[in-house]
Amino acid sequence: MGNRRSKISVIGAGFVGSTCAHWAASKELGDVVLIDINGDAAAGRSLDLFESSPVEGFDSRLVGGSDYALTKDSDVVILTAGLPRKPGMSRDDLLATNAKIVKQCSQEVAKYSPNAVLIVVSNPLDAMCHVALAASGFPRERVIGMAGVLDSARFRSFIAMETETSVEDIQAFVFGGHGDTMVPMPRYVTVGGIPLTQLLSKEKIDALVDRTRKGGAEIVGLLKTGSAYYAPSASAVQMAEAIIRDKKRVLPCAVFLEGEYGVNGLYCGVLAKLGAKGLESVPLLELNDEEKQMFNQSASAVQELVDALKKLDY
């Protein structure tokens, strides 16, 4: 990277995208470009955010527009474009529409930033990763889905509320697809190093797991006119930070599996080590029979979506 600043491009200037730009700039991860089909909206939000920099004290250049040439030589691109969920819609209802959008965006990204790492946020997440991987032509190391960080953040938030403990002292993660088949891993949850199973009853833990699984729908139900954006954007930016700062963070992400956990050729949520190259390795975890079964169910649900994609003309 030499002496130049890192560059993060965010595709889609809606709530998730513009909030990604906000977190990235406030962390001074680098210069930020916001791209949207409505170029003026992207330019306006970038300018507004830049005008907060003297108050907040961050030095990031922010520009926005509809022209992908602005994204040239990005280090990380966060893809949030697509239609959001409305009440009563499942993530999967978005399949055909968002596949078309994600395909076009990924092709443009690859054209201008052939070495970027692409973080996919668009829903249905696991299927959209497949679209982005194919359309960009990137290796699997450089197309990673953001789902597990968000689901784990929700899980950790709920555990913190229940145990009245600082969120910083809670380690938890989830596996599997993003949605109804996610696989929370209570066996591996600790509160300040103490296993959660020693602190809460099975019923309490099951209730927290259930709330985590429905976390996105809970917020859609409350907002009525849109879906979550603070936690999803913060989660995407945590991944971007791990890559840009080469932090080697182990985070739950949607990764294209090539035999890990017995799954081949499919995006699924697992623990992933993220650094400058993008996905640096997939640390393997021993799953018990119940976890294996849930993980396989989750993989099957993703496979169904991918099979549905193959039938679509997008």
Give the CATH number, domain containing residue 243.
Answer: 3.90.110.10
Q: What CA–CA distance (Å, rounded) separates 161 from 16?
A: 25
Amino acid code (one letter) for 103: K
| One domain for residues 68 and 214 | no
2 within domain boundaries: no
Which residues, given as ranges, of the chain have pLDDT below 70? 1-3, 91-92
Residue 85 sits in the same domain as residue 152: no
| Domain annotation covers residue 70 | yes
Instruction: Count CA atoms within 13 Å of residue 127 on its CB side.
Output: 27
Same domain, 119 and 259: no
Could you list the residue range(s) of the whole structural domain that residue 61 is in? 7-145
Find the largest Cα–Cα distance for the chain. 54
Are 98 and 196 in a shared domain?
A: no
Burial class (CB in 10 A: 0-12, 13-18, 19+), 84: buried
- Residue 302 tokens read as 């993703």
- The token pair at 208 is 């927290």
User: Do 39 and 112 fall into the same domain?
Assistant: yes
Helices and strands counted in the chain (H then E): 10, 14
| Residue 234 within any structural domain of the chain | yes
Q: What is each CA distance from 164 to 15, 157, 169, 183, 184, in whole angstroms?
A: 30, 10, 11, 24, 20
**Which of 145, 164, 183 is the last residue in one of the domains?**
145
Q: Does 178 lie in the same domain as 126?
A: no
Q: At what angle do helices 289-311 and 95-112 cross, to 10 degrees?
A: 90
Count of domains observed in the chain: 2
pTM score, whole prediction: 0.96
144 contacts 272 by C-beta, under 8 angstroms: yes
Joined together, the tokens standing for residue 19 give: 């909030």
* Residue 290 sits in the same domain as residue 239: yes
From CA 202, how far away is CA 197, in angstroms rounded? 7
Question: Which residue's entry shows tokens 């993530």?
Answer: 91
Q: Is 22 a catalytic residue?
A: no
Domain boundary among 145, 174, 198: 145
Measured CA to CA, the distance from residue 96 to residue 100 in angstroms comes to 7
From 7, 130, 178, 213, the catalytic residue: 178
Is residue 217 included in any domain, yes or no? Answer: yes
Element at 9 (helix H, strand E): strand 7-11
Where is the domain boundary, 121, 145, 169?
145
Q: Is residue 262 part of a domain?
A: yes
Write out the two tokens for 3.
């002496």
Whether residue 111 sits in one domain with residue 236: no
By the 8 A CB rule, do 231 and 241 touch? no
- Examine the domain organization and report whether 77 and 220 are in the same domain: no
pLDDT of residue 91: 63
My answer on whether 103 and 234 are in the same domain is no
The DSSP element (H or E) to which 237 belongs, if any, is helix 230-244
Enter the DSSP assignment of 185: -
Nearest to residue 290, comparing CAs of 199, 202, 193, 170?
Answer: 202
The answer to the question of residue 1 being in a domain is: no
- 135 and 174 in a single domain? The answer is no
Residues 129 and 185 in one domain: no
E-assigned strand segments in 166-248? 170-171, 174-175, 183-184, 190-191, 194-195
Token reading at 169 = 């002292």
Question: Which CATH number characterizes residue 141's domain?
Answer: 3.40.50.720
